[in-house]
């Protein structure tokens, strides 16, 4: 079984860093919720726990797949316009709701008002600025952060112990440092490293750092094909490469501010593109364009 699903918290008490106000607000008279923040910080998990706690009839939609006004008018409206089968409020959970088009968000606002007696909405997103103000004002808004590295370390140690994963303390701490606040990514990386079927050491965690240093060398010499190929040969994820590139450039003196801005823009754009590989290759070209 995938470790991220096996270790997904099933109750509020197990969600690391959860705002204590959220469980207190859950109930028949709860507000609409808007959860926002970085990936892997517990937004979707918390929404699913709310549904479970309420024993609610629910509709779950991924707004990045079904982002238009027709989805809101047809699927969502038909669901919220009827009462639940168990006398509880219904829950509409819209994941990645920042992908909804402006007309779809406006339609959603109207549904929130019209059917508030028998339905509540939970919106989750990475970028709250992409949610229109009228929607934000109708929700209890909570930012999900993950700054408690100590609590994350204890949680990951429990996974390591129960899954019988052999890893040094130094490597484990480095793994968390590289990927916090995304707990899901930490667990995914742990499962990936488990396949080595041996003691995981610090050098296993720092493989990407070495790859990134080589990529930067090829960027400096305008060798696009070599930079692209080394990323492919080492099977590195585009998201991880961008993060590592950012921090490698961040160490330089003077700091190459234009390159950091390009990486920041690429990190935002990769959330919405169909092919992350093409997005990464376009970034390589832009970074090479900064060479003097």
Residue with tokens 């959330």: 271
Does residue 6 belong to any structural domain of this protein?
no
- The verdict on 200 and 212 lying in the same domain is no
Residue 125: strand pairing partners? 36
- The verdict on 42 and 98 lying in the same domain is yes
Per-residue pLDDT of the chain (292 residues; tens, 9 = 90+): 789 999 999 999 999 999 999 999 998 789 999 999 988 899 999 999 999 999 999 999 887 666 667 777 778 888 998 888 888 899 999 998 988 888 889 989 999 999 988 899 999 998 898 899 999 999 999 999 877 788 999 999 999 999 999 999 999 998 898 788 889 989 998 998 888 889 999 888 876 667 888 899 999 999 999 999 988 877 777 877 888 888 889 888 898 999 999 998 888 887 666 778 888 899 999 999 988 6
- The verdict on 122 and 32 lying in the same domain is yes
Cβ-contact 165, 190 below 8 angstroms: yes
Does residue 215 belong to any structural domain of this protein?
yes
- Cα–Cα distance measured from residue 172 to residue 157, given in angstroms and rounded to the nearest whole number: 8
- The verdict on 162 and 139 lying in the same domain is no
- The verdict on 96 and 169 lying in the same domain is no
Range(s) of the domain holding residue 120: 18-144
Beta carbons within 10 angstroms of residue 96's beta carbon:
23
- Cα–Cα distance measured from residue 137 to residue 121, given in angstroms and rounded to the nearest whole number: 13
Tell me 272's DSSP state: T
Does residue 181 belong to any structural domain of this protein?
yes
Question: Could you tell me the CATH number of the domain that includes residue 177?
Answer: 1.10.8.60
């Amino acid at each position: 079984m995938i470790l991220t699903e096996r270790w997904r918290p099933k109750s509020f008490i197990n969600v690391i860093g959860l705002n204590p106000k959220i469980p207190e607000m859950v109930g028949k008279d709860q507000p609409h919720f808007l959860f926002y923040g970085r990936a892997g910080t517990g937004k979707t998990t918390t929404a699913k726990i709310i549904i479970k706690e309420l024993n609610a009839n629910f509709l779950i939609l991924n707004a990045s797949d079904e982002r238009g006004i027709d989805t809101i008018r047809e699927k969502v409206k038909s669901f919220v316009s009827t009462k639940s089968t168990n006398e509880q409020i219904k829950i509409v959970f819209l994941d990645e709701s920042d992908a909804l088009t402006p007309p779809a968000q406006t339609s959603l606002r109207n549904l929130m008002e019209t059917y508030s007696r028998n339905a509540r909405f939970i919106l989750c997103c990475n970028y709250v600025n992409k949610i229109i103000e009228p929607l934000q004002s109708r929700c209890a808004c909570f930012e999900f952060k993950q700054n408690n590295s100590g609590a994350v370390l204890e949680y990951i140690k429990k996974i390591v112990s129960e899954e019988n994963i052999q890893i040094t303390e130094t490597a484990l701490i480095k793994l968390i440092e590289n990927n916090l606040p995304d707990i899901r990514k930490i667990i995914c990386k742990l499962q990936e490293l488990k396949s080595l079927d041996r003691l995981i050491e610090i050098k296993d965690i720092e493989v990407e750092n070495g790859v990134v240093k080589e990529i930067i060398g090829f960027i400096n010499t305008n060798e696009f094909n070599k930079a692209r190929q080394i990323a492919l040969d080492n099977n590195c994820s585009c998201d991880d490469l961008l993060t590592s590139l950012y921090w490698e450039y961040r160490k330089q003196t003077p700091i190459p501010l234009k390159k950091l801005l390009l990486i920041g823009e690429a990190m935002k754009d990769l959330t919405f593109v169909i092919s992350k590989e093409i997005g990464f290759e376009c970034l390589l070209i832009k970074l090479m364009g900064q060479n003097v």
